[in-house]
Amino acid sequence: MAVFRLVSGVKKVHNGLAIAPENTVGSKLDDTVTTTKVKTALMDDSDVKSGQINVETKGGVVALSGFVTGEKMKRRAVEVAKAQSGVKHVVDALVVKPAG
């Protein structure tokens, strides 16, 4: 039985856990560069309002979190992130804001 079903009001749990590679100065620098590329690409994309999207990178795995205004924008943000060099995988933890 899934543990989250035991908590009242929880409808879904997103598992974004990953085994992280060993940190080195070089890998931290690579991750910083990758994060910058993804953030810049999201800002430059006219279909994405990136102001509420957080980007974190660890070992080339990019995690996108925060709020977007619709499923189309959510899909586009993930596409843009995946297209950047240095990105090995994208974890989508974006949430679509309810209308209203």
Q: Tens digits of per-residue pLDDT, 59-96? A: 899 999 999 999 999 999 999 999 999 999 999 999 99
Helix (H, G, I), strand (E, B) or coil at 20: coil
Which residue reads 């995946």 in tokens? Answer: 82
Q: Establish how many alpha carbons lie within 13 A of residue 50's alpha carbon, considering only the half-sphere containing its beta carbon.
A: 19
Cα angle 22-24-60, degrees, rounded to a multiple of 5: 70
pTM: 0.73
The arrangement of strands across the sheet holding 61-68 comes to 53-58, 61-68, 89-96
pLDDT of residue 17: 67
Phi and psi (nearest 5°) for 58? -145, 115
**pLDDT digits 0-9 by tens, 6-55:** 777 777 776 766 665 666 666 677 899 999 999 999 999 999 988 899 99
